[in-house]
Structure 1
């Protein structure tokens, strides 16, 4: 009886847990683009408003007034007024269509829905219109556009709601309009300007769209004080130049502010945080100014890709993976920014002739990658501070000595030879001491703890790295494409990898202590190295070798691995003991079951 009850109880408990969690499963976040939802209709307005058929006015305002559709006289002081109507377009055409009008008129407090899905169909459509005011209308649940202006200038669109459409508010070849205080959510594009110039977009809320505010081939517009959260892209520009984007909030999007092939734009004073990828990104253009923004908690705070001659100044870029990143981007000024608590404060990847000064980077610092010509072309000054101390970036120097690194917060040598870097204590950086294309240097007696990389060599040969302490890093001592170096007498403990060779050959690793790491010494695609006389205790894996040939291992204590024969074997301390105990455990269980049967 008991044995039958137990499975039933498990089934009942499982079913109960499933039912309890089912609301969480079914209420996943989605954009709900263009979906009809009558909950967005203003029920209060529905009760008090008149019900109307669709309205089409083609500069025949007098007839419309005679028919009782409008009031007013079309003057600035007494505009024509269409107000308090509810229009169901029945799935075709536009709710209100105004064409070829230059008189003053106002459409106010109307509810328009279920317009057609053909090009041009909208809750409110205006073609070749000036001097209109669209105020406090609800143009939601239309199949194509909520509000659509085509070849229409000097109009005001204010306080409207345009949700659950393909595009909430759409301007095409329309100039000098004001779009303010509107809500455009749950559309494919919230507010969209196409070939439209000199417009002001201010104080709008554009959330849960694929694109919050989108400008295509649109110049000299002002995008001011809008909130564009929970979109695929908060604010996005394509082929749009000389726009001012300031004081906006673009949080929790895939991309915050995203510019493509757009130049001479001014991006200032925005708050762009918690976006999945980039806070501010510029792709393939030039002469943009990015200044005074707050870009925190993104993957990249500010990201320039194939973009030259930009200015990045006075921004705060904290708690990102990379605060400010240049990827194949040249002739950019990066000055006066604060980039704290990122994995890297500033990163230059194959980016040339950039000017880096007066930036503050706590717990991060600078990371550079590229060929020699690229790295020596950049000007990086000691006015940059890492953890309150000086960033030293030396290029093409020889015989640097102890006095060359006073109060160092980070040291980077590029094409520097016959120099000595000694007795420094550098912590909480991306790379404490890094050498690029630098040969015959002596790196000794330094403490490089709690960094991403303690000591980093790239394309650097015949260096001596000795007597350093590099602990609690991701990589204690790391060699990348670096050959004929001597790594001796160092302590590299409590790292993910104590000493790591990557595509590095003919190095000598001897007399080091690499203990309590995930891997004590790690060789990857690295040949003809000598690994001898090291103390390797308490590592999860003492030596790891992958895709290597002809490495020599000797006198590394209890770590008896290898002849470097390329078989990619490894000895893991405690590995055999684990299986011995497991086997013993199985034997005990089997013996106990056998005795129970007897």
Structure 2
């Protein structure tokens, strides 16, 4: 029994040592297999990350070393571009998320999230310096100091379809010599500034395009200073605390900016420009913009050779449009309505044309002009404003023609002291609450060929000097003749060829000028409008048409028919026809085959004309000869 137990323990010990030796022998091969398996899994994970697009990094810095960078798992080279994509970078409050410097190689940064850059002036979600040929698209960039920062001669960079949220300074900033860049289709929310382009003290940022962006809740939407040739097109800006779109000329003149099709609403100022140190804005174009529900609509200072057209400015809390120092510019086709203060306010304007604008339904003056010289205002609709239609102070050498100035709550046109060499012509000035035209202490005012009617206080009030020529002035005040033109003490006027009062009969034809113009359409200055030898009033009484010299169309003047005893209202009854056996025939008394002569008893002039029959001139009598007289 003891021998059996001893042998059992002996076998157990031997088995243990054999198993231990086998394990030691196989262990290296097992570890190698595990390493190989782990290696294969690691490679699979890298490919999986690359395809799924998730890397979490602290920052990326490219300094003209794309070939090295492209070896990283988060950067590829595709179709001629180095592509960084699907990266989330938390810069953890230090530096920039992605920095690209000193590069001319085409690159794309896309589908990335960049947050928490440092807070120095150069820190951004994406910082691009002295670099060309890049695309930044479809990224989310938030909680950085700046979103995308292009610095020092960065060119041909496209920033497209990104979302910028809560960046501390500018969402996009271009500074010093950044040219030919495009910013398009981005969304901006609650950044301090949306898009800022500045030249700095060195080189301007010119020829950039800002298009189709949506910018909400910023201090400023788009701001450009000391630059030229930039385009701002079809952007929408909502709730800018300061300016929706702004321009500043500080260190140099700014030229050739184009601002088209933008919408700005709920901001302090929709569009704003200012200048310093005698710098100006030159050759700007503002067209087709909609500026709605802002405190101030548009304020532009130092604008020269500007085209301002087809803009809509409505529901401004204060002045809708202000031009301060406007020269050699065109303002046309704009719609300025329903603002709660003055519609268009121009101070220090020269050599400009303002035409085809609709300035109506504003709660103060339509056009307010101060120190405006050598300019023209034509074909404007100035209707139903709560102040004056046009107010002028210290203006000289201005022409107002073909305007419609009606239904304003004060004067149609008010010339405050002193204005000189103002011409008002061919304009409808009617139904205003004050005077049609009110002139105070101004001189050399020409008022020519206007329709001035039904203004509540007077037609024309003069405390100065004026020439009033060939106007229609009636039904103003209570309609009394003395209310049509009122000259205050010291006022003087040359009155020539006017119709003053609605009972006036200027041509003495028996119709008042008011009847001729408003009922019959006849010429108030001509007793015989259609030149058929019949007085206009007689024709209306008799039943012939005072605007047609041959009412029945039989080829004879109405006047000749009446003188000949025929009916000017019957085309079958005309001079030279006789009745034979119940039928009407033409009679040829001299059997010479010529046109019949008139019957006996015609006036002496017909006798003279008959004597011309021998030379073939008798046809003058019986065939219509326009503009004949008796």
Q: What TM-score comes out, normalization by structure 2 length?
A: 0.57
Question: Alpha carbons of 1:85 and 1:319: their partners in 2 closer, same or farther (altered >3 Å)?
Answer: same
Match of 2:74 in 1: 69
Distance 2:238 2:484 in 1: 41
Which of the residues 381, 384, 389 maps onto 1:366?
Answer: 389
2:360 & 2:474 partners in 1: Cα distance? 28
Say if 1:411 and 1:276 are closer, same or farther in 2 by CA, change over 3 A. same
Residue 178 of structure 2, aligned match among 174, 185, 191: 174
Tell me, in whole angstroms, the C-alpha distance in 1 between the residues paired with 2:83 and 2:451: 80
Choose which of 425, 447, 450 in structure 1 pairs with 2:477: 447
1:457 Cα offset (Å): 11
Paired position in structure 1 for 2:238:
229
Residue aligning to 1:220: 229
Residue 411 (str. 1) matches residue 437 (str. 2): yes
1:354 equivalenced with 2:375 (yes/no): yes
Shift of 1:203: 0.3
Change in 2 beyond 3 A, CA 1:242/1:440: closer
Is the alpha carbon distance of 1:332 and 1:457 closer, same or farther for their aligned partners in structure 2, counting shifts above 3 Å?
Answer: farther
Range 204-213 or range 256-265, more displaced? 256-265
Residue equivalent to 1:20: none
Give yes or no for the alignment of 1:97 onto 2:106. no
Checking the alignment, whether the CA contact within 8 Å between 2:58 and 2:90 is kept in structure 1 is: yes
Distance in 2 (alpha carbons) for counterparts of 1:419 and 1:170: 55
Q: 1:310 aligns with which of 320, 324, 329?
A: 329
Deviations 1:255-306 (CA, angstroms, capped at 9, x unpaired): 11112232211000111111101x2221123111110111111222221012
- Matched residue SS, 2:68: helix
Question: Which is richer in strand?
Answer: 2
Shift of 1:128: 0.9
Structure 1 78/309 Cα, relative in aligned 2: closer, same or farther at 3 Å?
Answer: same
The answer as to whether partners of 1:103 and 1:131 remain within 8 angstroms in 2 is yes
- Mapped contact 1:168–1:185 kept (Cα < 8 A): no
How many Å separate the matches in 1 of 2:447 and 2:155?
67
The corresponding residue for 1:160 is 162
> Among 425, 435, 453, which residue is 2:454 paired with?
425
> Structure 1 residues 181 and 433, CA, compared in 2 at 3 Å: closer, same or farther?
farther
Q: Name which structure has the greater RCO, CA cutoff 8 Å, separation 6+.
A: 1
The DSSP-based 3-state class of the residue aligned with 1:169 is strand
Deviation at 1:55, TM superposition (A): 0.4
Count of aligned residue pairs for this structure pair: 398
Q: What stretches of structure 1 of length at least 5 have no aligned partner?
A: 1-46, 465-598
Equivalent residue number for residue 188 of structure 1? 192
How far residue 350 of structure 1 moved from its aligned partner, in angstroms, is 2.2
Shift in alpha-carbon separation, 1:407–1:418, aligned structure 2, 3 A: closer
1:432–1:448 Cα contact (<8 Å) kept: no
- Give TM-score scaled by structure 1 length: 0.60
Q: Which residue in 1 is equivalent to 2:146? A: 145
Question: Is this contact kept in 2: 1:161–1:183, CA < 8 A?
Answer: yes
User: Where does 1:492-571 land on structure 2 (aligned, <5 Å)?
Assistant: none
Please report the RMSD computed on the Cα atoms of aligned residues, expressed in angstroms.
Answer: 3.8
Q: d(CA) in 2 for partners of 1:419 and 1:359?
A: 17
1:136-179 deviations in Å (ceiling 9; x for gaps):
1111111x210011121011100111222210101112111110
Q: Answer yes or no: is the 8 Å Cα contact 1:238–1:259 preserved in 2.
A: yes
Aligned to 2:129, the other structure's residue is in SS state: strand
Residue 164 of structure 2 aligns to a residue whose secondary structure is coil
Cα deviation for residue 121 of structure 1 reads: 0.6
Question: How far, CA to CA, are the matches of 2:485 and 2:76 in structure 1?
Answer: 77
- Whole-angstrom distance in 2 between the partners of 1:304 and 1:209: 25
1:158–1:179 contact (8 Å) kept in structure 2: yes
Contact preservation (8 Å) 1:84, 1:110: yes
